[in-house]
A = this chain, B = another copy of it.
C-alpha cells in the first residue's frame, strides 16, 4: 500500500491524521504541490484528477478522495472506529462530517483559491484551469464566518463533535479551523465549548501532523 501525501496541504492532512489515529504504518510519498507536482505528467499517470491524497492498494487500485480512503481503511482496520460504531453513530458522523466539509472546508477553499495570487487560474483543483471569481472569494469568507460562529453550538457540552468518541468529524473540524487560519479567521474567542474542544483535539499527537 502506498499513500501519496502533501505535507503542506489541508486535504491530505485529513488522511494523515486518520492514519495516525488508527496507528497504521503506510509507505508515504510526498507530492510537492507548491511546485505543482500534482499537475506534472508523472503524477497525472497516478491520478488524472491531479489531487492529493491518493491511496494505492496492493493490487494497484487507487483511491483518490479522502472519503474513499477513509472508508477503505476503516473497513480494513475497524478499531478504533473513526466513522462510527453503531448505525446511529455512523449516521451522525457522516452527517456532521458532510456539513463541516461543505459549509466549512469548501467555503475556505472558495475564499482562498479565488483570491490568492499564486492560485491565479487555479480556482478549482484538477487538470482544468478556471479563472478566479473575486465575488466567490468574498462569499466564501462570509460563509466561513457563519460556519465558525456555529461551531460552539455544534459542539455543545459533548467532548467530541459527534458525541463521546473522536471521529472523522473531529478530524475535519480541526483541519478546517486550522485551515481558516490561512485566511486569518478562527473560532470566536468567547465560544467556550468550541475553544475547549479545539484545545483538547489539538493536544492529540495526531494533530501535530
Contacts and interface: CB of A to CB of B under 8 A. Distances in A.
Interface stretch (A13-21, A29-37, A83-91): A83-91
B67 A92 contact: no
Given A72-B88, A88-B72, A146 B128 contact: yes
Contacts of A98: 65-68
Interface residues of A, number: 45
Interface string A51-89: 000010101010111111111100110000000101110
Interface of A: 49, 55, 57, 59, 61, 63-72, 75-76, 84, 86-88, 90-99, 103, 123-124, 126, 128, 130-131, 133, 135-136, 139, 142-143, 146
A92 B61 contact: yes
A15 to B, nearest CB: 12
A139 B130 contact: yes
Contacts of A71: 84, 90-91, 93-94
B87 A75 contact: yes
